A and B are shown apart, each in its own frame.
Chain A
């Protein structure tokens, strides 16, 4: 197992063990806006959810639905002109939103790590792999003895299935899948409580996708780390995750364990997503969704999905449906069930 931290704790973390609610991450009413010359785009609107220890949560939705904004917000990496407008992000009891830059740097990577989308460009082209993994470790744990550090890095590489020679290589010498796995190795180096994997397999071909997905599962099982996996391919996600959060246009519309959500999708949008997954076994008619998508700067009052919902009612156009726990652990925001 990976070593525990050695540097003195400047930010008081309650630690995973002392967690009363047994929750790794608690997001409360998070709002992220992007300023544009013609008004603010609401990228994330009052998102609230929780992640429990050792589970893999999938965050799913079409492109532009706000999932990457959520991921960036969790790490406080939202780039201007975007910003976190309100809400709380509680990791180990600490609210990320209120932290200063210095405190932020201490919490990052130790508690919360990122496997970025597009590992192709996420590695510094002029640094060797060993140095890039090392600097994450040494920044948080102080200078390490050479031999131990090397052992540690080699062990990380082994865990993600990479050969030892990668240690000395430069990023351009690696394939896409290998680079992605290096990013995974970097993310687990400090044994964080939560890893956010932002579309980890999107840029890869199918075979490599499988390898990377398997690596992620391996890692989760061995280390017991929680993961949020972001993607737009529900079929792929379904094979990996324990729970699924469905987002549409910046709002969370449904949260449920994966088997339940497929057995009984409650929100009309979820039903739409699932029915468009091509199936090898049966011939399904191509479902084209009717209706317009709205302008993200001017969301319609009421339910966010009203313009595309086949079951839209009058109340949907006026009142925002709250996210309610309809069945045990199954949340949905829809007036159909009020």
Chain B
């Protein structure tokens, strides 16, 4: 009575771009996306309402606490004023302007670095997974080695010698360690997909390798790639912020991490100037938490078994 179920050989339903279907409206993903959107809005809307030139040094009175913290304990602060609602720091920068200018930089560096990493990962991962053989061995060994090497330590060495002055340069540097993760992931997925029915069929019908890779396999990988991308962006932003906090970031332009660096150098913690390092931390937290939720959400979209598995 058994018949060969024809559905097995035809390509499985592509995890497609039909955005209004329920899988993509995963709650965690949406929450994360909203948070990131907030951060992006800061960049777009901010300059319209606020004078961003106040992010430069000596554009405002020093050491003003935020407008609601009138009685701040600490040493020698000026009067809080509505002209600087989030306060100012010891170099004369207005915190609100600083946030508006610095936030997009953090996002940008992460996206660019992760983007490069993803491209390299797709290239290497597909090649290694599909063709196997010595290419696979080389790629695997290299990516494993790069994952083991403590990325931040090496980045610190490089940054200490070759100063990164622009965000784009820093992104390029971070890309050095952004590729092993996606490469491993894609390679693993390609390895398992290679043996599946629809790929064999495509091969038999004479499709060329790149065609198979991009038309058959890639669309099914989209949720995984998306999850890998957001996770990657998060890690790159973390590395960038860490380097900047150590003082190795771009010196001419304000970033969230370098603000923290100046704050530490200016003993802001001990002086009670919590707004100096506090607001950058809040902004970074929004970005990290947002990306984190997006990643988990995408993970659940990619792997339905994790969905709704709240308690067994």
In the assembled complex, the Cα of A273 lies from the Cα of B1 at a distance in Å of: 7
User: Is chain B's interface secondary structure helix, strand, loop, or mixed overall?
Assistant: loop
- What are the nearest 8 A-B pairs in CB distance? A62-B1, A276-B1, A273-B1, A232-B2, A232-B1, A63-B2, A62-B2, A272-B1
* Given A63-B2, A232-B1, A232-B2, 5 additional A-B pairs, CB 8 A: A62-B1, A62-B2, A272-B1, A273-B1, A276-B1
Q: In the complex, what residues of A have CB within 8 A of residue B1's CB? A: 62, 232, 272-273, 276
In the assembled complex, the Cα of A276 lies from the Cα of B2 at a distance in Å of: 10
Encoded as 1 (CB less than 8 Å from any A CB) or 0, chain B from 1 to 36 comes to 110000000000000000000000000000000000
Q: In the complex, what residues of B have CB within 8 A of residue A232's CB? A: 1-2
In the assembled complex, the Cα of A62 lies from the Cα of B2 at a distance in Å of: 8
Q: In the complex, what residues of B have CB within 8 A of residue A273's CB? A: 1
Chain A residue nearest to B5 in the complex (CB): A63
Interface residues of A in 258-287 (CB under 8 A from B): 272-273, 276
Identify 8 residue pairs between A and B in the complex whose beta-carbon atoms are under 8 Å apart, listed by A's number: A62-B1, A62-B2, A63-B2, A232-B1, A232-B2, A272-B1, A273-B1, A276-B1
In the assembled complex, the Cα of A236 lies from the Cα of B200 at a distance in Å of: 32
Q: In the complex, what residues of A have CB within 8 A of residue B2's CB? A: 62-63, 232
In the assembled complex, the Cα of A272 lies from the Cα of B2 at a distance in Å of: 13
Interface residues of B in 191-239 (CB under 8 A from A): none
Q: In the complex, what residues of B have CB within 8 A of residue A63's CB? A: 2
In the assembled complex, the Cα of A272 lies from the Cα of B1 at a distance in Å of: 9
Chain B residue nearest to A233 in the complex (CB): B2
In the assembled complex, the Cα of A173 lies from the Cα of B1 at a distance in Å of: 34
Tally B residues with Cβ within 8 Å of A. 2
Chain B residue nearest to A80 in the complex (CB): B312
In the assembled complex, the Cα of A232 lies from the Cα of B1 at a distance in Å of: 8
Encoded as 1 (CB less than 8 Å from any B CB) or 0, chain A from 49 to 63 comes to 000000000000011
In the assembled complex, the Cα of A86 lies from the Cα of B1 at a distance in Å of: 31
Q: In the complex, what residues of B have CB within 8 A of residue A272's CB? A: 1
CB distance from A244 to the nearest CB of B (A): 15
CB distance from B158 to the nearest CB of A (A): 43
In the assembled complex, the Cα of A63 lies from the Cα of B3 at a distance in Å of: 11
Chain B residue nearest to A272 in the complex (CB): B1
CB distance from A313 to the nearest CB of B (A): 24
In the assembled complex, the Cα of A56 lies from the Cα of B2 at a distance in Å of: 24
Interface residues of B in 163-217 (CB under 8 A from A): none
In the assembled complex, the Cα of A232 lies from the Cα of B3 at a distance in Å of: 12
In the assembled complex, the Cα of A232 lies from the Cα of B2 at a distance in Å of: 9
CB distance from A330 to the nearest CB of B (A): 22
Chain B residue nearest to A276 in the complex (CB): B1
In the assembled complex, the Cα of A27 lies from the Cα of B18 at a distance in Å of: 47
Chain B residue nearest to A289 in the complex (CB): B1
CB distance from A2 to the nearest CB of B (A): 34
CB distance from B169 to the nearest CB of A (A): 49
Chain B residue nearest to A61 in the complex (CB): B1
CB distance from A107 to the nearest CB of B (A): 23
In the assembled complex, the Cα of A92 lies from the Cα of B211 at a distance in Å of: 62
In the assembled complex, the Cα of A62 lies from the Cα of B5 at a distance in Å of: 13
CB distance from B312 to the nearest CB of A (A): 9
CB distance from A162 to the nearest CB of B (A): 30
CB distance from A137 to the nearest CB of B (A): 27
CB distance from A324 to the nearest CB of B (A): 25
Q: In the complex, what residues of B have CB within 8 A of residue A62's CB? A: 1-2
Chain B residue nearest to A288 in the complex (CB): B3
CB distance from A288 to the nearest CB of B (A): 10
Chain B residue nearest to A277 in the complex (CB): B1
Encoded as 1 (CB less than 8 Å from any B CB) or 0, chain A from 240 to 254 comes to 000000000000000
CB distance from A323 to the nearest CB of B (A): 22
In the assembled complex, the Cα of A63 lies from the Cα of B1 at a distance in Å of: 9
CB distance from A238 to the nearest CB of B (A): 14
Chain B residue nearest to A287 in the complex (CB): B1
CB distance from A70 to the nearest CB of B (A): 18
Q: In the complex, what residues of B have CB within 8 A of residue A276's CB? A: 1
Chain B residue nearest to A62 in the complex (CB): B1
CB distance from B283 to the nearest CB of A (A): 40
In the assembled complex, the Cα of A305 lies from the Cα of B148 at a distance in Å of: 62
CB distance from A56 to the nearest CB of B (A): 22
CB distance from B203 to the nearest CB of A (A): 26
In the assembled complex, the Cα of A276 lies from the Cα of B3 at a distance in Å of: 12
CB distance from B295 to the nearest CB of A (A): 27
CB distance from A254 to the nearest CB of B (A): 15
Encoded as 1 (CB less than 8 Å from any B CB) or 0, chain A from 191 to 232 comes to 000000000000000000000000000000000000000001
CB distance from B174 to the nearest CB of A (A): 39
Interface residues of A in 39-85 (CB under 8 A from B): 62-63
CB distance from B284 to the nearest CB of A (A): 40
Encoded as 1 (CB less than 8 Å from any A CB) or 0, chain B from 47 to 77 comes to 0000000000000000000000000000000
In the assembled complex, the Cα of A63 lies from the Cα of B2 at a distance in Å of: 8
In the assembled complex, the Cα of A276 lies from the Cα of B1 at a distance in Å of: 6
In the assembled complex, the Cα of A273 lies from the Cα of B2 at a distance in Å of: 10
